[in-house]
Structure 1
Amino acid sequence: MMPWLWLAAGAALLPFTFLQTTLPLAAWGAPVLLLRFTRTVRARWALPALVVASAAGTAISFRGALSGDQIAVLAAGGGVLGAVPYALDRLLGRWLSGLPRTLVFPAADVALAFLFSTGDNGTMGHPVGTQVGNLPLLQSVSVAGLWGLAFLIAWTAPVANEVWERGFDLRAAGWSAAVWACVLTAVLLLGGARLVFDRPAGPTVRVAALAPNRAASDAAMAARVVAGPRGAAERAELRRRYFTPMLDDLLDRTVTAARAGARIVVWSEAAAYDFAEEGAAVVERARAVAREERIYLQIGVVYLLPRELSPYVEIRAIMIDPGGTLVWNYLKTSTPVGDGNVPGPGVVPIADTPYGRLATVICYDANFMPLVRQAGRAGADILLLPSSDWEPVTDALAQQAVLRGVENGMSVVRPARRGTSMAVDHQGRMIGYEASWFTGDARTTDHAMVITVPVQGRLTYYGRWVGDAVAWLCLAGLLAMAATAGARRFRPAAPRSGTAGQAPAPAVPPPGGAA
C-alpha cells in the first residue's frame, strides 16, 4: 500500500514543477517519491501507472494555455516521455551499484530534456525554472547552464532512494550520499560567494520598458486585425481606428520616458502593427523621436503579410540610435504555435553603445539556449527581450529569461504585452517587476517599467566555453552505463570450483528493489 501512497504524493507535486503555479521544492521532491514507487513495485504495474501520473501532471500544468485537443496530445507525449528516466533507472540500475547506479536517472533526465530542447519549444517550462528565486543555487547556471542544475536536482532522487533503501543509514549508503552532499554544498557556497564578491558595480543606465495601451491592444485583437486579405480601404480604416492610436500613444509615452531620464526605451513585442507593404512610416516616426530625444529606441512591430500567405506576419524588433540610424532590424527566430510568423535567420544582433554592449531576441526565442548564447559569447551586457505572452505561461517564459541572463552574464530587460514585465541583473536579482496587465484596471494606459540597469555584464564559463557540454556528457555517460549494464547482464559467470554442470549465478545481483 505504501508505494501507491508515494505515487499519489509524487503525482500531486508534479503539476507544481513546471509552467504555472510552480513550487521550488516540488521540483526536488516529486522525483524522489516517484522513483521510490518505481523501484518498489513490479515494473508491469509501476511504469504504466507512472505514465498516467505524468500525463495527468502535464495536462494540469497546461490548463488554460492551449485547446483541449492540444493538451491531450501533450499529455500523452509527456506521460510517456516523463516515464523514460524512471524506466532506465529500473532497467540499468539492476546491473550497477554504488555511485554509478545513482547517475542513471539524472543522466537520462538531462539527456532526454536536451534532445527535446532542439525541437520547437526549447527549454520552455523546464523545472529548473522554478529555482530562479534561489540566487546562490542559480549561479551554477553561469558555469554549466541549465543542464548542470537540472542534473543536480534529478540526482537528488536516486541518492535519496539509496539512503531510503538502507534504512536512512548514511554509512551504509556509501559514497553516493557523500559525493552528492559535497557537490550541493560546493554549489551553494560558491554561488553565495559569487553573489557577495561579484556584485554588479560601476555605471548604470536608465531604461524604460513599455507595453501598449491595454484597452487599445485588446480592441485590436478582438477585431482580428491579422485575419483575412485586405483591400486598400479596409487597410486604411484599420490603421485609422487601431494602428495609429496605438502608435501615437507609444511614441508619446516614449517622449515622456526620455524626458524623465531614460536613455534606452524598449517596447514590448507586438506593441505596434502595420501592413508590411506600407510599414515604413512606423519606423520613420520612431526615428524622428529617437533623434529628437537622443535615445536608443527599440520598437516592437508586427507587420501583416497578405493572409493568403503562410506564414502571414513578420514579428520584428527594430533598434534606432540617437542619430536616427537603424542599428538592427531583428526578425523573430522561433515560431510558437499560433503566432503564424515568418522565422528569422537565427542571428542575434549585437551593438556597442555608451551604455554597454546591447543585444536582443524576441519572447519565445529565450527558450533556446544556443540562440541566446550567441550574445553570451559576444560579451553582451544587456539583453533586450520584448515579449507578448498569455497569462498561463507568462511566469514560465519569464523564468527562462532569467536563466538565459545568468547563463550568459547579462542583465535582461523584458517588457511584456499581455504578460509580466521584469528586469534582472546578470546574477538574477530582480531589479524591475510590472504585472499591471493582469492586476490593474483594464483601462490602465501606463504599462511601463522604468529601471536602472548595470551597463557592465560578465563573461561566464557557460557562455564563453562550456555551452551544452554537460548535456552531451550526460548523453555519453548514459550510453556508457547502458553498455556496462548490458555487458554485466549477458556476461557468463565463471563456474565455481567443483560445481561443473551447475547453472552460473548472475555476475552482479540486482541491488535493492523488487525484480
Structure 2
Amino acid sequence: MSRLGPGWPIAATVASGLLFFFGTGLDPVPELAWCAPLPILLLAPRVSGVTALLCAFVAYAAGGIPSWSYFWHSLSVPRPAGIAILAGSALLFALSAGLFRLLVRRHHAVLAVLAAAGLWTVALYAVSLLNPTGLMGTFMTTQADRPVVLQLASVTGGWGVEFLVLAVPAAVAAICAPGIRAGSRLVSVIAVAAVLTGLFFWSTARLSSPAGTTAKVALVVPAKAGYATDVTTPQGAALLQSYVDQIGALPDGVRVVVLPEAAFAVDDASRAGFVERLRRTGVEVVTGVYDTTPQGRFNAALDVPPSGPPVEFRKWHNGDSKNIASGTDLAYLAGPAKIGLLVCMDVNFADPSGGYGEAGTGLVLIPASDEDADGWEHSRTALIRGVENGFSVAWSAARGTPMLSDAHGRVLADTRTGAQPFSVVTADVPLGSGATPYARLGDWFAWLCGLLAIGGIVTAVRRTGETSATARAEDATVGA
C-alpha cells in the first residue's frame, strides 16, 4: 500500500472542496460536479480510515459554503433543517468515501464503485421521503442543463443521474487504486466506457425524436411580487390590472398564461368577480391563489378559461405550514390535451408529478415563488420532474427563474426576475407523451441502490481469514 506524505491529504481536500464549491450548489458548473469527488476517492485507499473520513467531510462541507447563507436565511427551509442538510450531506459523502476505501483495500474494485454510489443515492432517496420540504440541489440538479445526461431520468428517475455522477469518478479512482488486479482494472475501464457510450447514443436518439403537438405558453411575473395580495384591496385591484395589461400585450396565439404562486388571496365572496375579470382577457389564465374556503385555506393553482368553469389544483406539499390545508387530487385544464397543474414545492417530491406521468400528461403548469438565490436550482428541479415523467414544464416563479422546458429537459426559454417591471417568457411548448418507464415503474433504481449499498457494507465488514489479516497489516503500514 502506498505511503503518502502529510501534504497529500491537505491537497486532496482543498482540490475536492474547490471542485464542490464550483460544481455543486445554487449555480453549478455541471462538468466540475463529475470531478469533485475524485481527489478524495483517489486519496481514500492510500491513507488511514480516520484521515479519509475527515478529509471527505471537510471537502464537502467547505464546498457547500455558497449554500450556507441560503439555508441560514431561507423562508421555506427551517434553519435547523438547513444545518442538518449541510452537515448530513458532508457526513454522507464521508461515509460513501469510507465504504469505497474499505472495498478497494479488500480488492473489490467493481463493488466499491457500485456500493459507494449506491449508498449515496439511497440515503438521499430516504431523505426525499422523510424531509417535509422534499429534496433538490443534489448531483442530479447539477446536470439539469445537460439533456444528454438527463435522459437517464426517464428510466431510473433522477436517482440514476445521482448515482452516475458519483460512480464515474469512483470508477476512475478504483482503476488507479494500488493493489487492484489488472483484470479488475480492465473490467472497470470497459464498464465505464460502455455505460457512457451507450448513454450518449441512446440519449442522442431520444433527443432527436420529432416533437408533437405544441401549445404557446406565456409566463408573466412582476419584479416586485407580493404574496397573497387580497383582491378586494386597492393594492389587489392595481396588481390585477397590471397583470391584465401585460396579458393584453402578449403576442397572438398564446394558449395559456401562467402567473406566480399566491399572486392573490381570494375567498367565497371575492372569487366570482376575480374569475370574471381574468376571463375577460380572452386568454386562459392560471394563477396562484391563497383560497379561503369552508374546508380550509389552500395554496392553489386556479385555472380560469375564457369560458366554462374554473379548475383548481390544491398544493399537496406545504412544508411545515400548519395553517394551510393540503390537497390530494390532480387537476387538468379542460380540453383534449392533457395539461395539468402543480404548485411550487410539489416538484420537490415524486408525487403528484408521478401521478401526472402515469396518466400520460403532456404539459404541467406550475405557479411558483422562490427566494432569488435558489431560483435556477428550483426551476431545474421542476425540469427534472418533467423528464422523469414525460411532460413539458411551465414554471412561473416570482423571485426566481421563470422557465419553459420540453419533456426531454431542453430549456425553451427562461429568464431571471427583477431586471424589468415584468418578466415575460413565451414559447411554443411541445406536449410530452408522459408514461415514461420511470412513471410506470417508480423508484426501482433507488431500491436497487439500497441493495448495492447493503451488499457493499456486508462485504466491507466481513473480516475472515487471510483477507482480515492482510487488511490489518496494510492499516498498520499506512499508520507507521
- TM-score range normalised by the length of the shorter chain: 0.7 to 0.9
Aligned to 2:314: 331
Deviation at 1:94, TM superposition (A): 3.9
Deviation at 1:87, TM superposition (A): 2.3
Residue 297 (structure 1) aligned to one of 277, 280, 285 = 285
Q: Deviations over 1:429-481 (max 9, x none)?
A: 2212122x23x14xx1x32222211235343111123x210000110222133
Residue 24 (structure 1) aligned to one of 22, 30, 39 = 30
Aligned to 1:214: 223
State the SS of the aligned residue for 1:414. Answer: strand
Distance in 2 between the 1:413 and 1:173 partners?
A: 45
Distance in 1 between the 2:178 and 2:106 partners?
A: 18
Is 1:506 aligned to 2:467, yes or no? yes
Distance in 1 between the 2:234 and 2:277 partners?
A: 23
Q: CA RMSD in A?
A: 3.0
Deviation at 1:33, TM superposition (A): 1.3
Aligned to 2:254: 262
Distance in 1 between the 2:456 and 2:53 partners?
A: 21
Distance in 2 between the 1:421 and 1:58 partners?
A: 25
Residue 374 (structure 1) aligned to one of 334, 346, 355 = 355
Distance in 2 between the 1:210 and 1:91 partners?
A: 53
Deviation at 1:293, TM superposition (A): 5.1
Amino acid at match of 1:373: G
Aligned to 2:303: 319
Contact 1:411–1:457 (CA under 8 A) maintained in structure 2: no
Q: Deviations over 1:183-238 (max 9, x none)?
A: 11101110011112x1313x322212222x334x3xx56xxx89xxxxxxxx8xx9
Q: 1:26 to 1:147 in 2, by over 3 A?
A: same
Deviation at 1:242, TM superposition (A): 2.1
State the SS of the aligned residue for 1:48. Answer: helix
Distance in 2 between the 1:335 and 1:37 partners?
A: 42
Distance in 1 between the 2:269 and 2:39 partners?
A: 58
Distance in 1 between the 2:248 and 2:261 partners?
A: 19
Aligned to 2:451: 476
Residue 87 (structure 2) aligned to one of 76, 85, 94 = 76
Aligned to 2:50: 44
**What TM-score does the superposition give when structure 1 sets the normalisation length?**
0.81
Contact 1:163–1:177 (CA under 8 A) maintained in structure 2: yes
Q: Deviations over 1:365-399 (max 9, x none)?
A: 11112331111001000011111111111111011
**What TM-score does the superposition give when structure 2 sets the normalisation length?**
0.87
Is 1:271 aligned to 2:263, yes or no? yes
Q: 1:482 to 1:279 in 2, by over 3 A?
A: same
Q: 1:382 to 1:56 in 2, by over 3 A?
A: same
Paired residues for 1:62-73 under 5 Å:
62-67=68-73, 70=80, 72-73=83-84
Q: 1:131 to 1:76 in 2, by over 3 A?
A: closer
State the SS of the aligned residue for 1:335. Answer: coil
Amino acid at match of 1:353: G
Q: Deviations over 1:122-153 (max 9, x none)?
A: 23111211112222222111111111111111
State the SS of the aligned residue for 1:133. Answer: coil
Gaps of 5+ in 2: 1-6
Q: 1:370 to 1:181 in 2, by over 3 A?
A: farther
State the SS of the aligned residue for 1:459. Answer: coil
Paired residues for 1:228-243 under 5 Å:
239-243=232-236
Aligned to 2:436: 460
Distance in 2 between the 1:319 and 1:351 partners?
A: 7
Aligned to 1:406: 387
Aligned to 2:197: 185
Aligned to 1:500: none
Is 1:56 aligned to 2:67, yes or no? no
Aligned to 2:21: 15
Q: 1:97 to 1:420 in 2, by over 3 A?
A: same
Contact 1:210–1:415 (CA under 8 A) maintained in structure 2: yes
Q: 1:373 to 1:96 in 2, by over 3 A?
A: farther
Q: Deviations over 1:469-507 (max 9, x none)?
A: 0000110222133234444x2x4x4xxxxxxxxxxx336
Aligned to 2:211: 200
Deviation at 1:267, TM superposition (A): 1.4
Contact 1:320–1:326 (CA under 8 A) maintained in structure 2: yes
Distance in 2 between the 1:55 and 1:380 partners?
A: 39
Distance in 1 between the 2:352 and 2:424 partners?
A: 27
Q: 1:145 to 1:382 in 2, by over 3 A?
A: same
